[in-house]
């Protein structure tokens, strides 16, 4: 125990008084179920302004939900888990959770991941019949010694935890699939209705970062295809010393460049969240001659609450909430703008 901390203990000063004194770096270590301890809060700033970022227009309602938790000094991990359940549960969001568009064979298969401030994480991939896969990912993280469960095993685990299985294919999604089948032309479009994952990253009042990412993946994908969303490091990565990042768009391109992890490492090297997102997009463009034909969008957030957003193409919208603003934003993008040199 530091001298400063033992001194305060000796004085018998209570937590509210400590907070009043603006001494926020005395958070005790919290033992976690996995035997590890939550890292001691090293934030010196007494009042951390919470921030939450999420992808696409439907993320606005998700941010509103997450904000309730952040505003009341809850943990970022709880905020993101609650937030992303909003589009997961909404049948009108046809690219996440319930009502998501199916694969080529008519099956709705879902991918989700979650990661907290201790570096702990959980994910489910190719899970079927479960409306809120992010909750299952959280349980994989909290209750198992594993990081990832897939397919039937993931569904069995969910059922053993009390989840109901349901038919996730709504009338609307089934009709869209039937229409697609008449041509069965597999050519993913940009920013059109064949994708849109929710990725959400947040910083809480304690200065801790967490993230979640959940999707039904690319519509009309091959049965069994798993995208970037449940892959830790690809569509989601959190390092509580540095920052967090999340991705949306063509998962294969994100996996191949380990996008979210790349962004966090670029921030570790001193780049701002904005520059880190731009460099990660540039990496995809450098490695893919056909990058003009698909979309990838990145969001990043650092420990100071600074944010970044960038995409390959025009049209990537995201939502940024902090105590001073609650806004839908449009990201800067690579093509059709001057290419920046670094």
Helices (H), the chain: 3-11, 15-20, 59-71, 76-89, 133-143, 151-160, 171-183, 251-257, 259-268, 273-287
Task: Establish if 217 lies at the interface with ligand SD4 (CB under 6 A).
Answer: yes
Which of 197, 288, 302, 311 lies at the binding interface for ligand SD4 (CB under 6 A)? Answer: 197
Q: How many residues bind ligand SD4 (CB under 6 A)?
A: 14
Our finding on whether 195 is near ligand SD4 (CB under 6 A) is yes
Output 112 or 118, the one with its CB closest to ligand SD4: 112
- Kindly report the number of other CB atoms within 10 A of residue 110's CB atom: 30
Q: Which is nearer to ligand SD4, 97 or 227 (CB)?
A: 227
List 117, 204, 228, 278, residue binding ligand SD4 (CB under 6 A): 228
The single residue among 130, 139, 218, 263 that binds ligand SD4, judged by CB under 6 A, is 218
**Whole-angstrom Cα distance, residue 279 to residue 262?**
9
CA 237, 242, 243, 248 dihedral sign is negative
Q: Min. distance of Cβ 313 from ligand SD4 in angstroms?
A: 12
Q: Does 103 bind ligand SD4 (CB under 6 A)?
A: no
**Has 69 been annotated as catalytic?**
no
Among residues 55, 69, 109, 197, the one annotated as catalytic is 197
Q: Does 191 bind ligand SD4 (CB under 6 A)?
A: no
Q: Applying CB under 6 A, which part among 7-15, 162-170, 225-233, 310-318 lies near ligand SD4?
A: 225-233
Query: How far is the C-alpha of 233 from the C-alpha of 264, rounded, in Å?
Result: 9
Query: DSSP assignment, residue 50?
Result: P
CA dihedral 132, 138, 144, 150 (to 10 degrees): 40
Of the residues 54, 112, 248, 313, which one makes contact with ligand SD4 according to CB under 6 A:
248
Sequence-distant (≥ 6) Cβ neighbours of residue 185 within 8 angstroms:
none
**295 CB-near residues (< 8 Å, 6+ apart):** 190, 191, 195, 248, 249, 250, 311, 312, 313, 315, 316
In the complex, least distance from residue 63 CB atom to ligand SD4, rounded to whole angstroms: 17
Q: Least Å distance between CB 40 and ligand SD4? A: 35
- Binds ligand SD4 (CB under 6 A): choice among 74, 99, 249, 273: 249
Q: Is 251 in the site for ligand SD4 (CB under 6 A)?
A: yes
- Interaction of residue 230 with ligand SD4, rule CB under 6 A: no
Q: Is 17 helix (H, G, I), strand (E, B) or coil?
A: helix
Residues lying near ligand SD4 in the complex (CB under 6 A) are found at: 195-197, 215, 217-218, 227-229, 235, 248-251
List the catalytic residues: 197
């Amino acid at each position: 125990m530091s001298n400063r901390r033992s001194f305060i203990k000796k004085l018998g000063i209570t937590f509210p008084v400590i907070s009043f004194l603006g001494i926020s770096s005395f958070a005790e270590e919290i033992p976690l179920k996995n035997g590890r301890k939550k890292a001691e809060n090293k934030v010196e700033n007494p009042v951390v302004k919470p921030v939450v970022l999420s992808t696409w227009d439907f993320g606005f309602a998700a941010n509103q939900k997450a904000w309730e938790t952040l505003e009341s000094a809850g943990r970022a991990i709880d905020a993101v888990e609650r937030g992303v359940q909003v589009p997961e549960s909404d049948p009108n969001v046809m690219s996440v959770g319930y009502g998501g568009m199916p694969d080529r064979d008519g099956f709705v298969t879902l991918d989700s991941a979650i990661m907290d401030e201790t570096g702990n994480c959980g994910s489910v991939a190719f899970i079927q019949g479960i409306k809120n896969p992010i909750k299952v990912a959280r349980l994989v993280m909290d209750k198992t010694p594993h990081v990832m469960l897939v397919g039937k095993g993931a569904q069995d685990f969910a059922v053993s935890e009390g989840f109901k299985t349901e038919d996730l294919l709504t009338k609307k999604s089934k009709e869209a699939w039937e229409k697609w089948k008449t041509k069965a032309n597999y050519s993913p479009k940009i920013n059109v209705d064949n994708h849109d994952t929710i990725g959400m990253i947040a910083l809480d009042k304690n200065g801790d970062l967490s993230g979640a990412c959940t999707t039904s993946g690319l519509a009309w994908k091959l049965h069994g295809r798993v995208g970037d969303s449940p892959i830790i490091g690809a569509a989601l990565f959190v390092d509580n010393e540095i920052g967090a990042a999340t991705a949306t768009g063509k998962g294969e391109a994100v996996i191949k460049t380990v996008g979210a992890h790349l962004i966090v490492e670029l921030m570790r090297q001193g780049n701002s969240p904005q520059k880190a997102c731009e460099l990660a997009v540039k990496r995809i463009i450098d490695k893919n001659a056909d990058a003009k034909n698909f979309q990838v969008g990145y969001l990043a957030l650092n420990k100071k609450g600074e944010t970044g957003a960038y995409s390959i193409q025009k049209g990537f919208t995201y939502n940024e909430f902090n105590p001073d603003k609650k806004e839908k934003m449009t990201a800067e993008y690579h093509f059709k703008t001057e290419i920046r040199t670094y």
